[in-house]
Amino acid sequence: QVKKRCEQKLLIRMKTKCVPCSLNLDTQCPAGYTKITNGTGTPDCRYYLEFKTYTLSFPGCRHRCVKEFEQPECCQGRWGPDCMCK
């Protein structure tokens, strides 16, 4: 039996919203994603608060998340929805 499908595995990365580090402990990744940072996350961003006519910027934290995704693909020399021979 010759293999018709050769799925490509992709890793999708994303970061959660930037928030005060003290509030980031319980931040969860979206459904289907796995959190790869611990504790308060990574302190690599800034969040903004608006006060009347001023916007203040503060250092914040966010978590990194990953999701493995299989992209359907035909093996080399095959094509179409059923991955038939050329």
What DSSP letter does each residue of 18-53 carry, written as one string? PB-GGG-TT--PPTT-EE---TT-EEEEEEEEEETT
Residue 85 has pLDDT above 80, yes or no: no
Please give the pLDDT value at position 27: 95
- Of the candidates 66, 69, 67, the residue with the CA atom closest to the CA atom of residue 37: 66
In a domain, 83, yes or no: no
Residue 17's domain comprises: 13-73
Number of domains in the chain: 1
In a domain, 40, yes or no: yes
Instruction: For residue range 22-68, list pLDDT tens digits in order.
Output: 999 999 999 999 999 999 999 999 999 999 899 999 999 999 999 99
pTM across the whole model: 0.72
In a domain, 56, yes or no: yes
**CA of 3: how far to CAs of 7, 38, 56, 85, in Å?**
11, 41, 58, 11
In a domain, 47, yes or no: yes
In a domain, 86, yes or no: no
- Of the candidates 2, 4, 1, the residue with the CA atom closest to the CA atom of residue 73: 4
Residue 4 has pLDDT above 90, yes or no: no
